[in-house]
Amino acid sequence: MNIIFLDRDGVVNEYPGHGEYVTSVKGLKLVKGAKEAIKLLTKSGYKIFIVSSQAGVSKGLFTKKTLNEITEKMLSQIAKAGGKINKVMYCTHATGEDCECRKPKTGLFIKASGDLGKDFRDVYFIGDDKRDVETARNLGCRSILVFSGKSTKKDLHNWEFLPDRTARNLLEAVKNIVLGIPEEVKKRK
């Protein structure tokens, strides 16, 4: 099953900052190399799902309509570059709500993958923070932490669970998956 799960903020688009959100179409700026990475995954036959927490909706910082407009712009830019996102799933609940879709819970991931199966051992989740690594562990898939967003290498010293791999950004992570893992990436783990 060739599935890749991607977090959005800090992985596909630039990290807006701690406690901040992309609140408008104008605020969406894709990470350098993200379009190329998604095109490479698409050409390699992967089904690509973006799964992201967007609590800014429940906090009233932006509307679902605005979130949909931001998503449409992102998908359009990716499509123009030759990539295809199969599905985008958001949890818009606040942090304190006990929903099944907010990471590190796996509800959105299972819903996104639908009838593609429930064996996630060969699936990757590429994210930029501790919750993404924990989510991958809870789902039973492989995690790749990118350093283009929220987390840095220093953060790993305090984490209970470490990622299976790390990469500078989405493009490096995707090249490692599709083209093979260079030795220096193995050593970063």
**Of 91, 165, 152, 92, which is closest to residue 125 (Cα–Cα)?**
165
Helix 170-179 to helix 34-43 angle, to the nearest 10 degrees? 20
Please pick, among 9, 122, 132, 164, the residue that the annotation labels catalytic. 9
7 included as an active-site residue: yes
Residue 115 marked ligand-binding: no
Residue 128 marked ligand-binding: yes
9 included as an active-site residue: yes
Q: Coil, strand, or helix at residue 60? A: coil
Residue 141 marked ligand-binding: no
List of E strands, the chain: 3-6, 47-53, 87-91, 124-127, 142-146, 165-167
Q: How far apart are CA 39 and CA 101, in angstroms?
A: 27
Known binding-site positions: 7, 9, 91, 93, 99, 101, 128
The residues assigned a catalytic role are 7, 9
Known binding-site positions for Mg(2+): 7, 9, 128
Known binding-site positions for Zn(2+): 91, 93, 99, 101
